[in-house]
Each structure stands twice: as structure tokens, then as C-alpha cells.
Amino acid sequence: MNENLTKQNPGDRPPGGPGEALRDPDQHPPIFVSIASYRDVDCVQTMTDLFAKATYPERVHVGVLWQVAPEDGEIFTQVPERWRENIRGEAVDAGKSLGVCWARHRIQERFWQHEPFYFQIDSHCRFDPKWDERLLAMLRQAPSGRAVLSTHPNAFHPPDQLVRNGLPIMKAGRFDDHGTLIPVAKMISLEHRPALPISSPFIGAGFLFAPASIIQDVPYDPFLYFHGEEITFSVRLWSWGYDLFTPNDVLVFHDYGTTRGRRRHWDDHVDWTRINRRAVARVQHVLGVQTSTDPDAIQQLERYGLGEVRSLDEYETFADVDFRKRRIGVRATDAHFPPAPSTRKEALTMRRSFTHIYRQNKWRAPETRSGPGSAPLVTAALRDRLAGLWQELNVRILVDAGCGDVRWLEAITPRVALYLGFDLVEDLIANNRILFGSRKNHFFNVADITQDVFPRGDLLLCRNTLTHLPNALVQAALDVFWASGTRYLLLTTFPGAGNTEIEPGHWRKIDLTAPPFSLPPPLRMVQDGSPANGCYLGLWENLKSR
């Protein structure tokens, strides 16, 4: 058998990122292909087809780990001779292998040479023509600068009968006996395949294409075995700020057959249950199901644990699953997911800050979680003024940007034909939908006022929200409001305030007519609270509405 092929130091090449290569469709950037092969005679055919079907095979570089037994023949470690120089490989004793995750990690550690893109496949695959340029084009189409394309591939029957029975879309399958969520794929018609890659919270380990930055940010965990590989890697990628997508075309095919004599790791290792038991404890620890104190189960989690860009709780909300309760929701069952939330630092800080305030009722107001300044009694005079203003301006569509729990305003919102409430806190919006569900002219949605597109209304109200944002985000919100085309803006302002800088989620007074905002004098000033507070709702006409 081959002991190894071209095992080189990754430091031999300078680091490189995928950004420029993705932005320029005329570039043909190198792709690193990871293949973990366990006693698989089909590995050489997989590599042969990989190069044969590539548009630019000279840009394809394979890292392969052959896990073989002494009785296995040379065919188990053969390579296509024409592309030998593009293959970096090593043969190891299958008896010393610690499983597929260990093998994938070893490939990343030993054979990646800073190619800007990473393609992970199994050792029994076939490919559609031009798979390389089509994957790169698909990654460009994904609405994210940190996109990962992944799914469970379509099937093929050896030697090369490809099955095009639909487009596989990732969804939640079931919780296994260990309490580990198993992602699966459902088929949709190729005739109705979407124009763009499909937002998803799940990856399939046998087909994953991504910027190679994931190797450094989210390296494969060598301490996992098999169960939990996909769901754990899904959560880790997502927590590091990568957005997952199911491919919108069929490019890879996998041999799912179990009758052709291909050995599995657990066939050859009598102690695989011990390894798997430790790995399951690790998965449950990482996913917050059950804390482990076994040092072997939780070793090196600072390197192979979750990131800090997004939280585990945010993942469960996005994926519509609950790992502790073993719950799979409608979105997870139907494979119908929203776009992933923003990973901008300011947006993350604001969302987490306001969510924490809402959940813990940090402002301690007895009547409302939006703070004492939004109590119904305190705002009675303001409501009367606003009701008169709406009638005077003929406000039929009211857009409430930063609506909170609407307790202070709910008595007069039925007076408009359409009330649209927006807030950053998902729990709050979900609760508002229940509380105001009987009001058929009231609609609520999650939105970030600093970046999302807002609908056009007659008046946009933003009360006591801009005061929690740093100046740059206040300006971003103002730009969003003007761009909506809404006729009038009614915004909190404190004449004479200094517009000092704050961190997102903190509070200070702002004067929208002073630098750096420098809005013109408002058409009207509506007193908000006692005169001593110096707080007003300023009314501005939006010239873009004309």
C-alpha cells in the first residue's frame, strides 16, 4: 500500500481568502477536496470521476486518508495517475483509526495548503459535469458573505448510474436513542427547484462546500465518532457566523448501498461503543442537553466548541428545534427556514441586550416590560395628543418602529386602518401576535430598524428607541425611515441634548436637530412626559414621500 503521497507543510503556502476569487467569476480558484476513505475500494473511482467532471481539474487538490487493513489490496489506495501530483494522501492502519471525524480532522491538519475553498465528500461519490465552477457560482449566488453549501447527495448505483429523482433539501429527521437530532433530506421536484440556494440550519457531512476559512475557524472535531457529527458541526458553523444553505442544483451523488461489502469502522472495532459513548456525552454537552464532567468527553472544547457570534439558544430558535425537550417544530419538519439573522456585531449586541431586558423584565415596570415610561397611566396625556394628531394628518397606516409590548398605545391603535408593529426581540413579537390576534388590522414582525426595509405608511412612530443606539446606528435608522417613503416621521428628540456616544443598548438623550444628525426643525413638537424631562416627539415630513 502507499504509505503517503506528497504530505507537505501547510505553512509552505501563504494564507489566502476566498473573497476576491468569489467576487471575480473569471477566476478559477483552487479547491481543496477532503476524502476520508475507510477500506473503500471505490475511492479511486471517486477521485477519477472528481477530476474527469471538473471544468478546471488542475485547480482541484485532494487530501485523502486511506484507513486500510493489512489484507486490503493495492486498489484500496490507488490514485488516478494523471492527477497524482494533485493528490496528498496517507494510508493508516484501520485498526488504529478513531472514526470518520478523526479522519476528517487529520486531513485538514495534514493536507490542506491554504486553498481558498473546501469541499468535503465521502469516498464513494460521483459528480455532475462542471461541478467545480457550478459550486463556485452557487456560492456567489448565496445571499451571504459566509455561506456554506451542504446537503445529503442524491444516490448513484455503481458503477455510474446516477439517480436524479429530485433535489434533496435538509430538514430535521428524528431524535435517536441517544437524544441526538438526525438531519435528513427530503426530495422536492427538480422542475420547481428554487433560483437561489436555500436557507438551512443543517449540513450533510458527505457534501459540504465552503470558504476554507472554516478549517481555521471551525476545525473538525476529532473527538466525535459518528453519531452527532452533522448536527454538532451545523451548530458550530452557525455559532461562528457562517450561514448554511442547501444547494439548489444536483451536483454530487453518493453510493448508499449496504450490500456491496464495504466495511464500516464499527465492523472492525470491538470497542467502538466505548468511543461512541464518550462522543455522545460530548455532543450532549456541546448542545446543552446534559453537562458532562468526564475530562475525556469535554477535552479541548475551547478549540472544538461553539463560537460567540451566535448563541445555541438563537440556533434552536432559527432551526425550530429544542435539544433538551427533543422537540422538532413545523419549520424544521417542513424544511422551510427564514434567512439567517445578521452577524453584524452591533446588531447582535442590540438583539441580545433587548432580548435579555425583555425576558428578565430588567426595567421592573409592573405594567409593561417596555419600561416605566411606557406605562398606560404615565402616557395618558400623550395618547390624547397623538390621537388628535393622527386625525389631523389623516393617518390610516401607522408604522411603529420599536413597538415594544404596545401597552402604552393599545387603547388608540384601533383608530387607524392598519397598525404595523416592528421590534428586534423575537419573543416580544411572538407574544404581541397572540395578545393582539383578535385585532385583524394589527400586524407584527421582527425587524432591525438600522438595516431592514420598512413598509410605506402615513406616519412612522419611533418612540424611546433611538436613544438606545450609538450615533452611527441612529443615522442608519434615520436613513431606513426616510427610504421607506412614509409621509411623516414622529421621533423622540430632546432639544439641546449633547448626542454623546454610547454602546448599543445603553441610553442617553439625543437631539435630532443637532450634529451629527442635523435634521431641520420639526413641523410640530409633541410633549412626551413632564416638561422637566425635556422629551418630545418631533414631527418631520418625509420629502421622499412626494
Q: What is the pLDDT of residue 14?
A: 37
Q: How much is the average pLDDT of 225-241?
A: 95
Supply the DSSP symbol for 55.
S
Q: How much is the average pLDDT of 340-362?
A: 85
DSSP string, 142-210: SSSTTEEEE-PPEEEETTTEE--S-EEEEEEEEE-TTS-EEEEEEEE-GGG--SSPEEES--BTTEEEE
The residue ranking higher by pLDDT, 454 or 366, is 454
Contact of 350 with 451, CB cutoff 8 Å:
no
Helix axes 312-319, 229-239, angle to 10 degrees: 110
Express as a percent the part of the chain with pLDDT over 70: 92
Across 217-240, b (16+ Cβ under 10 Å) vs e yields bbebbbbbbbbbbbbbbbbbbbbb
- With CA atoms as reference, report the closest residue to 437 among 483, 397, 469, 406: 406
Choice among 9-23, 242-256, 369-383 with the minimum mean pLDDT: 9-23
Q: What is the pLDDT of residue 230?
A: 98
Choice among 266-275, 376-385, 388-397 with the minimum mean pLDDT: 266-275
Element (H, E) at 4: strand 4-5
Task: Kindly indicate the confidence band of residue 345, based on its pLDDT and cuts at 50, 70 and 90.
Answer: confident
Q: How much is the average pLDDT of 485-508?
A: 95
Q: Does residue 10 carry a pLDDT above 70?
A: no
Q: Does residue 449 carry a pLDDT above 90?
A: yes
The phi, psi pair for 515, rounded to 5°, reads -60, 145
- With CA atoms as reference, report the closest residue to 503 among 468, 456, 542: 468
The rounded distance, in Å, linking the Cα atoms of 490 and 450 is: 16
Q: How much is the average pLDDT of 394-418?
A: 98
The rounded distance, in Å, linking the Cα atoms of 499 and 467 is: 9
Q: What is the pLDDT of residue 27?
A: 77
Task: Kindly indicate the confidence band of residue 278, based on its pLDDT and cuts at 50, 70 and 90.
Answer: very high
pLDDT digits (tens, 9 = 90+) for 421-432: 999 999 999 999
Q: What is the pLDDT of residue 363?
A: 82
Residue 502 three-state SS: coil
Helix, strand, coil tally for the chain in percent (to 5):
35, 20, 45
- Residue 151: all three cell numbers together: 446537503
The rounded distance, in Å, linking the Cα atoms of 93 and 78 is: 16
Across 44-80, b (16+ Cβ under 10 Å) vs e yields bbbbbbbbebbeeeebbbbbbbbbbeeebeeebbbbb
Mean pLDDT, the chain, as a whole number? 92
Residue 525 three-state SS: strand
CATH number assigned to the domain with residue range 4-334, chosen from the 4 options 3.30.70.1380, 3.20.20.140, 3.90.550.10, 1.10.10.60: 3.90.550.10
Contact of 62 with 88, CB cutoff 8 Å:
yes
Supply the DSSP symbol for 520.
P
pLDDT digits (tens, 9 = 90+) for 144-175: 999 999 999 999 999 999 999 999 999 999 99
Query: Which of 504-508, 530-534, 537-541: highest mean pLDDT?
Result: 537-541
The strands making up 488-493's β-sheet, listed across from edge to edge, are 442-446, 418-423, 397-401, 459-462, 488-493, 536-541, 524-527
Q: Where in the chain is the domain with CATH 3.90.550.10?
A: 4-334
Q: Does residue 189 carry a pLDDT above 70?
A: yes
Task: Kindly indicate the confidence band of residue 472, based on its pLDDT and cuts at 50, 70 and 90.
Answer: very high
Q: Does residue 17 carry a pLDDT above 60?
A: no
Which residues lie below 8 Å from residue 41, measured CB to CB, with a gap of 6+? 75, 76, 262
Choice among 3-17, 152-166, 373-387 with the minimum mean pLDDT: 3-17
For residue 527, the Cα-to-chain-centroid distance in whole angstroms is 43
In CATH, what number does 372-545 get? 3.40.50.150
Q: Does residue 12 carry a pLDDT above 80?
A: no
